[in-house]
């Protein structure tokens, strides 16, 4: 029933069948009475009521679908991201546990989530689910602070690490509560903490989270990646559009105002001219800039 209700052509076919049945009855009355004039008038009236332009809405709908939308590129990117995430989640469960903590270059890294508000062209997870042998794509949900603590307790003496870095396959500020609880745990162990972020935490949490970081996060690294909103959106594809860039810059400025040490970072693959433009931007807001190498293989 719902298919016929939503199908203009199906409605037209039903009305044509009713009209044909009515014409058949009128022909029989004409044969019996001989009053052809009246029956012709009734027949003409029935034809006038027939919806001859019924297919028009379907044609208009087709044209609307074909017209490009200003939101179409963003929607396509989001669909591709969701499709890729579904494909990764459909990987057969081989019994391997999710990686909540991993080590690299003498640091302890914490992997809290897959979620990210960006879809950067150069992101490692575009091509693999692992990073230097660590499978970071979480297939069993985001961990609690207790699960992370359980994982790191199996790593022996934690004081062997230079610092703890909140950096995995997703944006750590999606998990602010868990991250801050872990900061207390690691500080009790005598470790320093660092946050690697895209700087969109205030948009993600719909509040200013920077004051909450003070005394918890010892250093913040904000991924700048471009010198202006337009260029940033082309390579980072924030779900917030170009406002993601403005929020990121403001996040770094807020860190500086609130006494939370921070810096911008960029990858060297963006070109020399763009690197120079990023340097000027960083200087204009009084935030240091760190240029890191692009990771081509892990």
Alpha helices in 142-271 (DSSP H): 145-153, 176-188, 201-205, 210-213, 229-236, 243-257
Q: For residue 103, give the nearest of 163, 185, 184 by alpha carbon.
A: 163
d(CA 14, CA 35): 29
Given this model, what pLDDT does residue 104 score?
Answer: 93
Q: Which residues contact 264 (CB under 8 A, 6 or more apart)?
A: 222, 223, 224, 252, 278, 281, 282, 287, 288, 289, 290
Under DSSP, is residue 233 helix (H, G, I), strand (E, B) or coil?
A: helix
pTM of the model: 0.69
Q: For residue 191, give the nearest of 110, 100, 99 by alpha carbon.
A: 110
Query: What is the full per-residue pLDDT of the chain (298 aa) written as tens digits?
Result: 433 333 333 344 444 444 444 444 444 444 444 444 343 333 334 333 444 444 444 434 433 434 444 555 555 555 555 454 444 445 555 567 899 999 999 999 999 999 999 999 888 888 777 788 788 999 999 999 999 999 999 999 999 999 999 999 999 999 999 999 999 999 999 999 999 999 999 999 999 999 999 999 999 999 999 999 999 999 999 999 999 999 999 999 999 999 999 999 998 888 899 999 999 999 999 999 999 877 655 5
199 φψ region: left (φ > 0), alpha (ψ -120 to 50), beta (else): left
Residue pair 182/149 in contact by the 8 Å Cβ criterion: yes
Given this model, what pLDDT does residue 35 score?
Answer: 41
Given this model, what pLDDT does residue 213 score?
Answer: 98
d(CA 234, CA 121): 9
Given this model, what pLDDT does residue 268 score?
Answer: 84
d(CA 200, CA 224): 11
| CATH of region 80-89+96-292 | 3.20.20.70
User: What are residue 52's phi and psi, to 5 degrees?
Assistant: -70, -20
Residue pair 290/221 in contact by the 8 Å Cβ criterion: yes
Residue reference for tokens 């980072």: 236
Given this model, what pLDDT does residue 80 score?
Answer: 55
Given this model, what pLDDT does residue 159 score?
Answer: 94
Per-domain boundaries in the chain: 1-47, 80-89+96-292
């Amino acid at each position: 029933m719902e298919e016929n209700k939503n199908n203009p052509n199906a409605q037209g076919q039903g009305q044509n069948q009713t009209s044909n049945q009515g014409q058949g009855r009128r022909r029989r009355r004409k044969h019996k009475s001989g009053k052809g004039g009246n029956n012709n008038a009734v027949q003409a009236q029935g034809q006038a009521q027939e919806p001859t332009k019924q297919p028009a809405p379907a044609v208009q709908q087709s044209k609307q679908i074909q017209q490009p939308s200003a939101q179409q590129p963003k929607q396509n990117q989001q669909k591709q991201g969701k499709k890729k995430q579904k494909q990764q989640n459909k990987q057969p469960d081989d019994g391997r546990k999710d990686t909540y903590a991993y080590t690299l270059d003498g640091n302890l890294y914490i992997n809290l989530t897959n979620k990210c508000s960006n879809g950067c062209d150069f992101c490692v997870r575009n091509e693999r689910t692992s990073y230097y042998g660590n499978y970071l794509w979480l297939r069993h949900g985001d961990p609690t602070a207790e699960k992370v603590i359980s994982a790191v307790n199996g790593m022996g003496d934690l004081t062997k690490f230079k610092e703890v870095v909140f950096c995995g396959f997703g944006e750590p500020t999606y998990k602010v509560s868990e991250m801050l609880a872990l900061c207390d745990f690691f500080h009790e162990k005598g470790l320093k903490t660092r946050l690697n972020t895209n700087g969109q935490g205030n948009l993600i949490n719909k509040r200013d989270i920077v004051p909450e970081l003070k005394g918890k996060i010892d250093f913040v690294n904000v991924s700048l990646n471009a010198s202006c909103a337009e260029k940033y959106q082309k390579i980072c594809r924030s779900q917030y559009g170009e406002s993601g860039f403005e929020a990121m810059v403001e996040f770094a400025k807020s860190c500086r105002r609130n006494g939370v040490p921070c810096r911008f970072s960029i990858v060297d693959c963006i070109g020399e001219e763009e690197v120079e433009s990023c340097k000027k931007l960083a200087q204009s807001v009084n935030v240091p800039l760190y240029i890191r190498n692009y990771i081509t293989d892990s």
